[in-house]
Structure 1
Amino acid sequence: MKKAKSFLYLTQLNTRRIFRDFKYVLLIIALPMFFYVIYSEIFPQNAAVNGISWKEYSLISLICFGIMGNAINLLGTKVANEKNDNWYAYLKVSVIN
């Protein structure tokens, strides 16, 4: 039970840290949502790709875009910044573990 509470607390802490970074929110979350709204309204309702409706196809592709954008552009710099800030050392000595 204690491990579950500490895991939830760490998850909440990391979620707050993520949403403080404006660049992350803009590039990884807002931009794919914007593209999805634009692309799903441009094409006709009956458009399909290999039997999959266009809205579903573009949603899946933009989710992949966000995941790959995170991995390529921001994940490495976040890990490097956390290493410089001694974030993991803080987690080791904090009471939340």
Structure 2
Amino acid sequence: MKRWTLTLFGCNRKGLTPSVKILGATIGQHADYRDGTVYVGSDRLGAILGISESKVFERRKALKGSGWMVDTGRTKGRAKVYKLTIPDCECGNC
């Protein structure tokens, strides 16, 4: 997941603010290194980063909308299971 995180940090796509990238890096720390899946609840992410769950939702939406996370349709407990992906990007840094 190190490659995913480093690529995310280098991306200049509009909407990927530093706070979105920090959330992404935190999510990446919880990912399964074998297949890139991750399930970590918004409450946990909010507690780790010291932000509200609504901010977590907002920033995770930016990651999903720009192709960095894909909803697998599965859940683990109350948390959705996502697959971390590196999208095709025209920013020149990805």
TM-score tier after normalising by the smaller chain length: 0.3 to 0.5
Between Structure 1 and Structure 2, which shows a larger proportion of helix residues? 1
Please give the TM-score of this superposition, normalised by the length of structure 2. Answer: 0.34
Please give the TM-score of this superposition, normalised by the length of structure 1. Answer: 0.33
Rg larger in structure: 1
